[in-house]
Amino acid sequence: MLKKIRRILALICFVAVTLLFLDFTGTLHHWLGWTAKIQFMPAVLALNVVIIVALALLTLVFGRIYCSVICPLGVLQDIISWFHGRRKKNRFTYSKEVKWLRYPVLVLFIALVLAGVGSIFTLLEPYGTFGLIATNLFQPIYQWCNNGIAAIAEHYHSYGIYTVEVWVKSIASLATAAVLFIVIAVLAWRGGRTYCNTVCPVGTFLSLISRFSLLKVHIDDDKCIKCGMCTRNCKSSCIDYKNGTVDHSRCVTCGNCIDKCHKDAIYYGRPRKVVAVEDTPQQQEGVDKAKRAFLIGSGVALATTAMAQAKKKVDGGLAAIEDKKMPERKNPITPPGSLNARNMHQHCVACQLCVAECPNQVLRPSNDLLTFMQPIMSYERGYCRPECNRCSQVCPAGAIKPITLEQKSSTQIGHAVWTHFLCIPTRDKNDDGTPVSCGNCARHCPTGAITMIQLDENDEKSPMVPSINEAKCIGCGACEYVCPSRPVSAIHVEGHEDHRTI
Amino acid sequence: MNSDNKHNMSRRHFLKVAGGTAVASSVVLAACNNNDSGNAAIAPEDVPKDKMTYRTNPNTGDRVSLLGYGMMRLPLEGGDQADPNAAIDQELVNKEIDFAIEHGVNYFDTSPAYCQGRSEKATGIALHRHPRNKYYIATKLSNFDPSTRSLEESQKMFYNSLKELQVDYIDYMLLHAVGGGEDAIEEFNNRFMDNGLLDWLVEQKEAGKIRNLGFSYHGDIAIFDNLLAWHDEGDYHWDFVQIELNYVDWKHAKEINEDNTNAEYLYDELKKRDIPAIIMEPLLGGRLANMPNDIVADMKRRDPNSSIASWAFRYAGTPEGVLTVLSGMTWMDHLMENIKTYSPLKPISPEEDAFLSKIADKIVALHDIPCNDCKYCMPCPYGINIPAIFVHYNKCLKEGNLVRDEKDSNYKRARKAFLVGYDYSVPRLRQANHCIGCRKCVSHCPQEIDIPKELEKIDQFVEQLKQSDPKD
């Protein structure tokens, strides 16, 4: 019974939170946004006292059902482990608690959070890890399926479903997600909840409470015949049937043991007698947390030659469009609503929800070590459009606070900077030798911050180039996106550490 | 359109079973929104082999089929006609040309510029498999690029045409798209007079390398009048002239664009001098086959058995001074239907003429962008897919998906259809917002469209749609 209820609830939570990461239409967060907000770390980072207290009380009464039901990474491990369980029954054994690993990790984690070194803790934290995996590995699959259906729909002139571009937001985050997924999947395949009980700082923290839970799993020595079925079905490896003890710090209250016991000797509820928890050192399964420092070579070789213009000799065909490269920004750009770089840094759990949500392909995970996996903005594939504030609506951790479209339109997150030698009118010529006219940045500036001026005021034939009024610029990146200079735009946005209202 | 085709086919099959082929082939069902041509309820055996209408060229006595095969929209491999890297589907081209010749078509019109410069070769391969006296070849001097304008380079272009087409003479040689450029007279002199090219071509004609010499004309009327004046004065003799003629351009060309000239004037000027007219754009680049439902309904009410496109072909073929009507046929369906329309031609009656004139008024009132998808503007040096953007815009206009008023009950649906279809037909980086306004395309457009201005208008419309996101 306990197992059935747990499974149904867990599946609902898992599907809901996963859909939140898969959805790109911006409609689901309205209904499912709460599933991210009740996650432990986002609540801590958002200083959401109500949720934290509620989760603590939940654990104090029922044990670590947070880990069994609410945590998507926990459920993901259960699913993987379940597949193995179908092939090989009764495969678990009891193991001792790995104290030397789990407590230091928790201490380290708390220290990192307090110090505000966001980049590392996101790799240890289950919700962020799940987000990273869901966004990098699951969302593309979901999008490909969507695109397949959309292609069929478009064929029949139905526009209810539309295609989305599937792109690698960051090789580093994709690789990290893949490594984490493989490690966690292998651990779950082999040992069930190994990750939750050796590494996960949230699990360890809740274990401090769950030892004192009101309701727990107990073994009735009188009824127990020491068959070991409970132990062999405990994915937390926390039941020592020989001694009749259960390690409540590691039990996630899944109920599998209760289902398996033929003698009704193991039960969930108030204890009939006190049992002691045995502490013993234990061998450890090496957790390979390959963290690699990916620093994108920011020194992009700038081709100073004019872009390869397709010569018009025959009809038709398309000029090749070179992909844009991220310009070397002195200051990263953070989304409107994040207030300033410190706020982002301290609150972001790097769950990638905003990255998965961004419809304009602007947000992507940072490759910088200090802000690893936290969202940064760049404008090669789109810009921060005026009608969109979706990232601010989905953030569960308070790193991007809700912002209205009106507020956003007057929030300066950066300002545009012009690079003379890249600007197309200074490079490309018409057939008669005069400079080509462009002005695409000025035409698309939503705040009217750009005016086109004569490069040489004494020469009427000199190229027209942009003049930027930094005070009016909000850093949305429209100019950078539509700039024809490739691979690096001749106008790019430098982020502001502190956002301002203009 | 596939769904329509399937629909037609299955109905046709049904009728065949129920009442025999005779009924089936004469019954035309639902209007088809095919891009270029009419309906698909036609099978190869329905196309007559020996009924084609022919016109005689007064200069050479050539008996030219009223349907001329335009080789500028050849089918591509892989099914994606928009893929610039796809190879020409030579097998299908061969099949189509075989079918055309078998059914009486004998005029094939190509150019060194068509299909990214691959049309002549494909045409040559297909035609070479037939006896040389079975077909007439038309090709052009397409020396638009300044680097191809010297006498030597232009001669090379001519010799290359002979080589690609695998022939040793050209039946119909055209000065390509006379009347374009910012200053049409200067452009003409630059391309054909200052370098002595026209005189050289006349020599080639005398030497038998060219059988008929003429020009194709778009744009500035001064150059057209000037060339005909030369003809009158005996400086140069034009064996034929290629003009744009259809029931919209007959009286409305000037209305659509100030710089254009009505086809009525062009045709009459040629007729006066007994110069045969070769007709291009009988369908206005497919726009006269793809029309809004209310106009389609008008035409179907008048004659439910005729496809929308067949009206336009009959119209263009009716004037006696027309030697042949060119159609850029991509698919077998187009070819079969057009052959049928001209086997034989049923001339447009005065009543029908008045009817089409009313239809033309309605089309002009649509205010769509007069783009014929000829791709002369391409490639845009900055990667914009100009014709695809215009085609999408016009399509939405005709389907009623161009709604500007947010209060319109249709707004939400139309907005989605426009935006989703836009991303589908044109990759984001090739959309209108990336046009920098360099204006390099403007002089290439035979329809004299102010391309950057139209793109900017579309960009603003798209912005308006995007920013007015109606929340559910």
* Other beta carbons less than 10 A from residue A37's beta carbon: 16
Beta strand spans in A378-483 (E): 411-418, 450-454, 464-468
The position carrying tokens 């106008």 is: A491
Residue of B nearest to A424 (CA): B436
Are B337 and B399 in a shared domain? no
Residue of B142, B382, B425 to mutate when probing chain A, most A C-beta within 10 A:
B382
On whether residue B95 sits in a domain, the answer given is yes
State the Cα–Cα distance between residues A301 and A486, nearest whole angstrom: 11
Q: Which of A397, A410, A323 is nearest to A361 (CA)?
A: A323
Q: In chain B, what's the furthest Cα-to-Cα distance?
A: 74
Cα separation, B360 vs A307, in Å, equals 44
Partner-chain residue, chosen from A160, A321, A438, that has the shortest CB–CB distance to B429: A321
Q: Residue B368 and residue A412: Cα distance in Å, rounded?
A: 40
Residue B7: inside a domain: no
User: Has residue B155 been placed in a domain?
Assistant: yes
User: pLDDT exceeding 70 applies to what percent of chain A?
Assistant: 90
Contact list, A385 vs chain B (CB under 8 Å): 466-467
- Burial class of residue B161 (count of CB atoms within 10 Å of its CB; 0-12, 13-18, 19+): buried
Chain B interface test: which of A318, A465, A476 (most B C-beta within 10 Å): A318
Domain extents for chain A? 2-269, 410-502
Q: CA nearest A361 in B: which residue?
A: B428
Which member of A159, A382, A386 has the closest CB to residue B420?
A159
- Token output for B80: 């994606």
CA distance A199 to A43: 20
Could you give the dihedral angle defined by the CA atoms of residues B174, B179, B183 and B186, in that order, rounded to the nearest 10 degrees? 30
Task: Check if the beta carbon of residue A209 is closer than 8 Å to that of residue A203.
Answer: no
- Beta-carbon separation of A156 and B115 below 8 A: no
One domain, residues B118 and B257:
yes
Q: What is the pLDDT of residue A283?
A: 37
* B144 contacts on A by Cβ (under 8 Å): 312-313
What is the pLDDT at residue A376?
Answer: 92
> Does one domain contain both B451 and B325?
no
Is B443 found in the same domain as B323?
Answer: no
Q: Compare CB distances from B379 to A163, A165, A310 and report the shortest one's residue.
A: A310
A437 contacts B420? CB cut-off 8 A: no
Per-position DSSP letters for B155-223, written without gaps between them: HHHHHHHHHHHT-S-EEEEEEEEET-SSSHHHHHIIIIITT-HHHHHHHHHHTTSEEEEEEEE-S-HHH
Where b means 16+ CB within 10 Å and e means fewer, A176-205 reads bbebbbebbbebbeebbbbbbbbbbbbbbb
Give the tokens for residue B316. 């263009």
Q: Report, in angstroms and rounded to the nearest whole number, the Rg of chain A calculated over CA atoms.
A: 27
Rounded CA gap, B222 and A168, in Å? 56
Contacts with B466 from chain A: Cβ below 8 Å:
385, 387
Of A311, A317, A319, the CB nearest to B145: A311
What's the confidence (pLDDT) of residue B286? Answer: 84
Closest residue on chain B to A429 (Cα)? B438
Asked whether residue B180 is domain-assigned, the answer is yes
The Cα of A20 is separated from the nearest Cα of chain B by a number of Å equal to: 18
Two tokens at A247? 């390690």
Q: Between chains, do A312 and B440 touch, taking CB under 8 Å as contact? A: yes
Best mutation target among B2, B431, B438 (most A Cβ atoms within 10 Å) is B438
Q: Are A82 and A91 in contact (CB under 8 A)?
A: no
One domain, residues B316 and B407: no
**CB within 8 Å: B436 and A484:** yes
Q: What distance in Å separates residue A296's CA from the closest CA in chain B?
A: 24
Size of interface A-B (CB pairs under 8 A): 119
Closest chain B C-alpha to A236 CA, distance in angstroms? 45
Residues B390 and B361 in one domain: no
Alpha carbon B353 to its chain's center = 21
Name residue, tokens 């000797």: A265
Contacts of A314 in chain B (CB under 8 A): 112-117, 142
Contact A437 B438 (CB under 8 A): yes
Report CB contact under 8 Å: B420, A424. Answer: no
* CA-based max dimension of chain A: 102
Residues B189 and B242 reside in one and the same domain:
yes
How far apart (Å, rounded) are the C-alpha atoms in residues B66 and B103?
Answer: 12
Average of per-residue pLDDT values in chain A: 85
φ/ψ of B157, rounded to 5, equals: -60, -40
State how beta strands A266-269 and A216-219 pair.
Answer: antiparallel
Q: By a Cβ cutoff of 8 Å, what residues of chain A touch chain B? A: 27, 154-156, 159-160, 162-163, 165, 309-321, 381-382, 385-387, 424, 428, 430-431, 436-440, 443-444, 482, 484
Q: Name the DSSP class of A247.
A: -
The CATH class of the A410-502 domain is alpha beta
Residue A493 to residues A331, A405, A441, A481, Cα–Cα distance (Å):
9, 20, 12, 10
Looking at B38-196, list the stretches that DSSP marks H as alpha helix, in order from N- to C-terminal side. 90-102, 114-117, 119-127, 151-165, 184-188
d(CA A254, CA A71): 13
In the prediction, which pLDDT does A435 show?
92
A50 CA: distance to closest CA in chain B (Å): 31
Angle of CA points B2, B8, B13, to nearest 5°: 125
* DSSP 8-state assignment for residue B254: H
Whether residues B101 and B224 share a domain: the answer is yes
Domain-located, residue B6: no
- In a domain? residue B372: no
Q: How far is CA B193 from CA A160, A174, B140, B172, B210, in A?
A: 57, 63, 16, 20, 18
CB crowding B191-211: b at 16 or more within 10 Å, else e? bbeebebbeebeebbeeebbb
| Predicted local confidence at residue B448, as pLDDT | 85
Q: Which domain holds residue B66?
A: 49-366
Q: Is the peptide bond before B379 cis (omega within 30 degrees of 0)?
A: yes
* Within-domain flag for B10: no
Task: Choose among A416, A432, A6: nearest CA to B440.
Answer: A432
Tell me which chain A residues have a C-beta less than 8 angstroms from the C-beta of B142.
314
Q: Which two tokens stand for residue A340?
A: 């300033």
Per-residue tokens: A411: 């929030």
DSSP-derived secondary structure for A169-194: S-HHHHHHHHHHHHHHHHHHHHHSSH
Pair B351, B406 in one domain:
no
Locate the chain B residue with the closest alpha carbon to A464. B438
Cβ–Cβ of B381/A163 closer than 8 Å? no
Residue ranges of chain B with per-residue pLDDT less than 50: 1-40, 472
Strands (E), A244-304: 245-246, 266-269
Same domain for B356 and B404? no
- The series of mean pLDDT values per 10 residues for chain A, 502 residues long, is 89 92 84 88 87 93 93 94 89 90 89 72 85 92 90 79 84 91 93 91 92 90 88 92 90 90 88 52 36 30 41 77 89 92 87 90 86 90 92 91 92 93 91 90 93 89 91 93 93 92 86
Q: What is the pLDDT of residues A233-252, one digit of tens each?
A: 999 999 998 888 899 999 99
Gap between the Cα atoms of A482 and A491, Å rounded:
9
Instruction: Give the number of domains in chain B.
Output: 2
From CA B153, how far away is CA B164, in angstroms rounded?
16
In one-letter notation, the amino acid at residue B221 is I
Same structural domain, B341 and B450: no
Our CA-based measurement puts residue A482 at a distance from the nearest CA of chain B, in whole angstroms, of 5
DSSP B261-277: --HHHHHHHHHHTTPPE
Dihedral (CA of A21, A25, A28, A30) sign: positive
CA distance B38 to B35: 8
pTM: 0.71
Provide the pLDDT for residue B132. Answer: 96
B148 within some domain:
yes
